[in-house]
Structure 1
C-alpha cells in the first residue's frame, strides 16, 4: 500500500521553478546574436565576434609599422671600446623602442642612469668615475652623479640624451689569495694541484681589475680543483676587497674540495658485436685503474682512445657516484660500428693532382678476430694498394700487426715499383707509441731514357726495426705548445746476388714555442675575460714552430739497398718551394733519386689574425725551409725555400695554404695541406 508523502508536491514545484530561473538567462543568450567584442585599441565588428565564438582561429592583428626609437643616446667616453660597452649594457637602452614611453617615465629612468653607468664602469675596474647625464633639451636640467648621490631631473620632452663619462684611474689587482678547506688542504699528494691553482689564479695580479677577469679566475680555479681527485669541489667563498683611494684590489678565493674520490670498476654498456674486454683494456691503459685518483683528463683520453680504435661510432666515458661517496665506477657507453665498412674518397693535392681512394675496413676477420684495413689510392703520379691487420690489444696495450703494400711512383722519366711486407707488434700508449717488426722490401727502378740492358736490377732487403714516438702537444688537432719526437732504428741485410749488411736510422722533431708573456700583451675588449686557462696559447705575437728531420743509411758503397729504404724529400710537408720528391741525388740518366743521408729543417712563425681586436680562426705564417739529400754525409748541401701562408682552424683540422719560393729553382709554388699529424 502506497501512502502519499506529506509536502511532496510543493517541494517538486519549488524545484522546478528554481531550475527554470537558473537556466532562463542561458537560453535567452543562446537565442540572441552575439554582441561585438571590443578590444582596447582595436575595433571589432559583428563578423569578428562570430569568428571569436566559432572553431576557426581569431584573425591576426594587423602588422604595425616598426617602432622608431623614442630617444637617442650620445655616449661620450674616452675610447670607443668603453663607449660601445656602455651603450650595449645601459639599462635605459631597453626602453628606446617602448611605444608608450612618455617624458615623465624617461625622466625617472634618467635619474637612475648615472648609478647604472657607475656599476658598469666598476666591472671594468673604474671605481671613482664621474658620470653626467644631460637630458634632451626641454626635458629638464642635467642629471649628474659624481659619487655623492646628487641627482636632478625635470622631464619635459623626448630627444637626444648626452652621457659624459670620465672613468678615472683604473684599479689594479694587487694580490690574489687562494685558501683551501677539505681534503686538499693538507693532502701531500695534492701539493702540485694546490700550486697549479695558486699559480693560475695569480696570473691576473698586476693587471687592471675587471669583473670578467675575476669571474674567469674563479671559474678556472674551480675547474682545476674538480679536474683531479675532487670532482665535488666548489667555491666556498670569494671576496674582492677594493681600495678606491689606492686604486688597488685584493682578491680572495676559498675552495672546498670535499672528499678525495677514487676510480672504481669499469662498466661497459652497448657491447654486442665486439668483446667488452677491448673497451675495458683501453680504459685501463690510460691509467684509470680501480683505486686510482679521479682524473678528468684521463677520462677524456680514454674516450678518445676508444673512439680511435675504429670499433665504435660513438663513445661516452663518465663516472657515476656511489652511496659510499668515495668510489666512482667508470661508465663506458658505446655504439658499435658495423663489422664492415667501405669508404670512397675524392681529393687532390698540389703535388699529385686529383686523387681517388677506396678503403675497406673489417673489424672482425672471421676465424682470428683481427681488424683489417685495406686501401687503394690512385693519383696522377702515385698508385698505392695496402692492407694492414692488427689484433685486439692485450692487457699491456700490445697488438700483433701484419701488413703488405704495393706502390708505383712516377718521377719525370723514372718509374719506381715497390713491394713491402711487415710483421711485428705495436703498442699505442698514453704518451708513447712503440713498435718492433720485421720488414721485407723490394724495389725496381726503370727509366725511359735508358736501354733495356742498362736498366738496374730489382733490389731487395730484410730488416729488423724498432720505432718509438712521443707526443707532448697541448692539443693534437690545433697544437700551440709542446713537442713531438719520433725515432726509428733498423738493421738489415740486402738480398740477391750481393748480400751485405746495413743499418738505418731516422729521427723527427717538432716543437711549438709560444711567444710573448701569455695574453698580457693585449687587453681584452671591455667586459670580456682574459684567457688565463691556457697561458700563451692566444697572443698577438703567436708562436714558433721548429721542425728538424734527419736520416742515415750506413753500408758499403756497393750494397744494393732498395730505394724504399733510402731518403728523398721535397713537397707540401717537407721543403716547400719544391715539388714532391724534387730534392735528392742525381742519377746517371739525370733524374732525381733517393740518397743515403737526409737533413731537413723548417722554422715557421705562426701569427693569429685579429679583426677589431678580436682574434678569428685565421692565422698567417711566415716560414723558411731547407733540405738536403746525399750519398755521403759530407756532401749534404741544403736548398732553401721561403714563403708565407694562411691557416684556417676548421672543424676537421687546420687548413693550410702556402705560397713558397724555391731559391734554388727560382720558382713559386702553391702548397695545400689539411690537418695536423705527427
Structure 2
C-alpha cells in the first residue's frame, strides 16, 4: 500500500491567532456582562436592582467571560504532545464563545484526519488515535441556583505515533544540457553527494521540501539559471514505514555572461560601475555564477555611491552572451549627518559629519567629521579618488585630536597619503604618515616635549567569517608593518601590529551547541630610544574590544605622577564561551557569555605584567550586529565595570 503525503501545516501566524482569540474573549466577556445585567433586572425590584447592580453583574460576568466550551487532554510522547496541541484544529477553535454541540461533534469527527496529517508531516504514517469525550458544553450545573455553566466538557486524546518513516531509496533524475556538458561533471556529482535525505534517514515533510530546494539551488546557481523541478514524488508505504523519493530536474540551457548594461546612472560614469562589477569576477564569456552577481551587487552597495543596486542576468537573451544588467539608484551628492550616542567606555557622544560624493573639478569623495566624546575631541577629513581597474583608490587624510586618559592629556596631529584596496573579505593599504604628539598633566603643569615622525606603512586584513554582521564561525587576521624616522633625533624605528579573532564550535556533541570566541593581539615598536616615538605610534589597552574590567586605554606604562603612558609592547588575549539561550525547545536570538581577558603594555618584555578581567555577558543578535552587555571584574583594579556595545567590526 502506498500513498502520497500532504505538505505539513505551517505554524499559524501569531499576528493572526492572538487578535482572533482576544476578540473572542472580549465578545464573551461583553455577552456575559449583558446577560447578567438582564437577569438581575428581571429578578429584583427596581430599588434593589439599583442597589445591587454592581455585585450581581460582577459575579455573573466573571464565570461567563472565563467560560471555555471544552478542554483538551492530549497524551502523546514528548515533545510531540506540545507540538500537536499547538497546531491541532481543536485547540485553535476551542476558545470560540458560541461553539455549540453540533460544531463540537463536527470537530471531533474531523480531528483524527487533522492529527494524522500533522503526524505525517513529522514522519509518522501509522499512528493510533483514540478520542474520548465526557460532559456536554451546553450542560448546566443543577446545584448552582445562579444557572452558571458546569465545568467544561473534556476531550481526551491518546496518540501512539508508531515508528518513524525512513527513506528506503531516492533518485535524482536530470534532463537538459546538464546531462552531456563535460564542464558540469562536478556539478552533477555534487547534486548526488550533497543530497541529505539518503537511505536510512528519518523522513519528514520539512526535510523533503528543504532537500528539493537545496538541489534546485545547487543546479540553478551555476551555469543553469533557468533550472526547474519538473516532477517530485514522496511515495510512502505506511505498512513498512518507508519513503521512496524521486526528484526530476530540468537544467534548461547553459548561460554565459555577456556585456554589462547599466541603468539608472546619471552622475557617475558607466566605467566606474563596470569596474566594480568586473572586480567581483563578472567578465564576458564566463559561465553564469549566481555568487559572482551577488558579489558585484554587494560591491556597488559597499562603494557608498548608491542607495540601491541590483545585478541580474537577462535570461531572455542569447544564452551564449546573456547581458548582465546593473540597475542602480544613486545616492544624494551631499549628506549631512548629526549623531548622538553613548557608550560605557567613551561616555556621551556627539558627532557632525559631512560627505560630498563628487567634489567639483576633482571628482573625488570628501568626508569631514567632528566628534565630541567625554574624553576625546576629534576633527578629521579625508579625500578618496574613484576606484581604478585593479580596485585601488588614492587617499588623503588629516586628523586633529585631543585625548584625555586619566590625568594625562595627549594632543596629536596626523597627516596621511597613500592608496587602499577595499573589500568585504580582503583589504590592503599602503601609505605614508606624519605624526606629531605631546602629552601633559594639567594639574602639575608638566608637558612632555612634542615627538614627531615620518613613517611608511603596509596594512593587510583578511576576513573569513560566515556572517560579517553576526559571525558564529570563521576567523579574521589583520597585519600592519611600518618603518619610520623620528624628526627630532633622526632615530629610525620599526612598528608591527597583528590582530586575530576566531569563532570555533564548542561541545559539538551536545544537542544545544555553543561556541568559543578567541581573540589575540600583539604589537611592538623597535627603537633605540622609544621615548622619541610619538604617542600615537605606541600602544595602550583596556576597554571594550580590548581588556574588559578596565577603562578605555587605562592599561599602559605607569607614571610616577599617576596615569599611564603608551608603551612599546602590547599583548592581549581573550577567551569567551558563548551559549545560545533556548526557549520552548527553540534557539532564540539571545546568548549568554563567560569570558576572561588579559592584557599588558610595557616598554620591555620583562616588564610585561598581564592585567586580567573576568566576567559574564548577555548578547542579542540584532539585524545590525550583536548587542553586547558585559559585566567584568578587573582583578588588579578589584572593581566591577559595565561594558556595552552594538555591532561587530574587524
Instruction: Provide TM-score, normalisation by structure 1.
Output: 0.78
TM superposition shift of 1:288: 1.2
| In 1: Cα distance, 2:277 partner to 2:132 partner | 66
Cα 1:570–1:489, aligned 2, differ >3 Å: closer, same or farther? same
Q: Give 3-state SS (helix, strand or coil) of 1:118's partner.
A: helix
Q: Are the aligned partners of 1:240 and 1:251 in contact in 2 as well (CA < 8 Å)?
A: yes
Q: Does 1:232 align with 2:204?
A: no
Q: Are the aligned partners of 1:92 and 1:109 in contact in 2 as well (CA < 8 Å)?
A: no
2:503 aligns to what?
Answer: 512
1:118 aligns to what?
Answer: 116
Q: Which moved more, 1:591-600 or 1:633-642?
A: 633-642
| In 1: Cα distance, 2:341 partner to 2:86 partner | 49
Q: Does 1:427 align with 2:421?
A: yes
| In 1: Cα distance, 2:92 partner to 2:346 partner | 58
Q: Are the aligned partners of 2:506 and 2:516 in contact in 1 as well (CA < 8 Å)?
A: yes
Cα 1:253–1:623, aligned 2, differ >3 Å: closer, same or farther? farther
| In 2: Cα distance, 1:380 partner to 1:559 partner | 27
Q: Give 3-state SS (helix, strand or coil) of 1:439's partner.
A: strand
Cα 1:192–1:429, aligned 2, differ >3 Å: closer, same or farther? farther
| In 2: Cα distance, 1:175 partner to 1:670 partner | 57
TM superposition shift of 1:100: 8.9
| In 2: Cα distance, 1:412 partner to 1:100 partner | 72
TM superposition shift of 1:280: 1.9
Q: Does 1:79 align with 2:51?
A: no
| Equivalent of residue 129 in structure 1, options 127, 136, 159 | 127
Q: Does 1:611 align with 2:611?
A: no
Cα 1:175–1:444, aligned 2, differ >3 Å: closer, same or farther? farther
Q: Does 1:479 align with 2:471?
A: yes
Q: Which moved more, 1:243-252 or 1:206-215?
A: 243-252
| In 2: Cα distance, 1:194 partner to 1:633 partner | 57
Q: Are the aligned partners of 1:91 and 1:116 in contact in 2 as well (CA < 8 Å)?
A: no
Cα 1:188–1:388, aligned 2, differ >3 Å: closer, same or farther? farther
Q: Are the aligned partners of 2:84 and 2:115 in contact in 1 as well (CA < 8 Å)?
A: no
Cα 1:213–1:449, aligned 2, differ >3 Å: closer, same or farther? same
| Structure 1: tracts of 5 or more residues without a match | 1-64, 140-157, 523-539
2:404 aligns to what?
Answer: 410
| In 2: Cα distance, 1:576 partner to 1:429 partner | 30
TM superposition shift of 1:509: 0.9
Q: Give 3-state SS (helix, strand or coil) of 1:616's partner.
A: strand
Q: Does 1:571 align with 2:578?
A: no
TM superposition shift of 1:316: 2.4
1:382 aligns to what?
Answer: 376
Cα 1:235–1:581, aligned 2, differ >3 Å: closer, same or farther? same
Cα RMSD for the two superposed structures: 2.9
Cα 1:323–1:279, aligned 2, differ >3 Å: closer, same or farther? closer
1:31 aligns to what?
Answer: none
Counting only pairs closer than 5 Å after superposition, residues 97-116 of structure 1 correspond to structure 2 as 103=102, 110-116=108-114
1:51 aligns to what?
Answer: none
| In 1: Cα distance, 2:192 partner to 2:393 partner | 42
Q: How many residue pairs align between the two structures?
A: 573
Q: Give 3-state SS (helix, strand or coil) of 2:276's partner.
A: helix
Instruction: Provide TM-score, normalisation by structure 2.
Output: 0.81
| In 2: Cα distance, 1:87 partner to 1:671 partner | 40
Q: Which moved more, 1:273-282 or 1:362-371?
A: 273-282
Select the structure of larger CA radius of gyration. 1
| Equivalent of residue 660 in structure 1, options 621, 632, 635 | 632
Q: Which moved more, 1:659-668 or 1:92-101?
A: 92-101
| Equivalent of residue 276 in structure 1, options 260, 263, 270 | 270
1:212 aligns to what?
Answer: 206
Cα 1:216–1:591, aligned 2, differ >3 Å: closer, same or farther? same
CA deviation string 1:531-579 (max 9, x = no partner): xxxxxxxxx2222111111111112135611111111111011111111
2:612 aligns to what?
Answer: 640
2:647 aligns to what?
Answer: 675
